[in-house]
Structure 1
């Protein structure tokens, strides 16, 4: 398996990965609209100097993805001015449980560190226990829980 930066030629498969993520997250979010949802501007991640979009290939088949995006801290009181936000973490179902998500996560963290970024963040649904465990295994810890009330 190899990890590489995504290209525009990868967009078709990456768009199917995006819908795979949406499908996996629907049970955790009752506020989603019906139909196709697009979370990401994947082309922007490919072209931006402040982002990297990685894919993992197995025998020339793209089997996983993830991105890191450098963002400015929204709070003046944080002890960091910018951080790397990770997202678009997807592994094809038949390749799950093989450590591929950890490979991507490690590569994205290394990319952020190479840009002198020491704060790394991501979002995960609290009820998505397998994802929470995977990120904890990679060294992440819970930070803030967003709560909602439908009135």
Structure 2
């Protein structure tokens, strides 16, 4: 398996991955609208100097994806000015459980640290136990739990 930066030629499969993420997240988020949803501007991640969108290939087939985006801290009291936000983490179902998410995470963290970024964050649904465990294996720890009340 190899990792590489995504290109515009990869957009068709990446858009399929995006819908796979939406499908996987629907059970954890009752606020999502029905139908097709687009979370990301994938083309922007490909072009932006402040982002990297990577894919993992197995025998010339794209089997996984993830991005890192450098963001500015919105809080003046944080001890960091910028951080890397990771997202679009998707592994095809038949490739899950093989350490591919860790490969992606390591690659994105490495990209971030090469740009002087020491703070790396991501969001995961608290009830998505398999994803939480995967990120904990990669060294992440819970920081904040967002709660909601539907009135």
Normalising by structure 2, we get a TM-score of 1.00
Cα offset, 1:99, TM superposition: 0.4
Q: What corresponds to 1:99 in structure 2?
A: 99
Q: What corresponds to 2:136 in structure 1?
A: 136
Root mean square deviation of aligned Cα: 0.3
Cα offset, 1:64, TM superposition: 0.2
How far apart in 2 are the matches of 1:70 and 1:44?
A: 13
Unaligned 5+ segments in structure 2 are: none
Normalising by structure 1, we get a TM-score of 1.00
Unaligned 5+ segments in structure 1 are: none
How far apart in 1 are the matches of 2:140 and 2:100?
A: 17
Q: What corresponds to 1:59 in structure 2?
A: 59
How far apart in 2 are the matches of 1:104 and 1:138?
A: 10
Cα deviation digits, residues 35-86 of structure 1 (max 9, x gap) = 0000000000000000000000000000000000000000000000000000
| Equivalenced residues, count | 151
Q: Give the 3-state SS of the residue equivalent to 1:32 in structure 2.
A: coil
Q: What corresponds to 1:26 in structure 2?
A: 26
Cα offset, 1:135, TM superposition: 0.3
- Runs of 4 or more consecutive aligned structure 1 residues displaced over 4 Å after TM superposition: none
How far apart in 1 are the matches of 2:122 and 2:9?
A: 26
How far apart in 1 are the matches of 2:135 and 2:98?
A: 15
Kindly report which structure 2 residues correspond to 1:75-114, keeping only aligned pairs within 5 A, or say none. 75-114=75-114
Q: What corresponds to 1:8 in structure 2?
A: 8
Cα offset, 1:18, TM superposition: 0.2
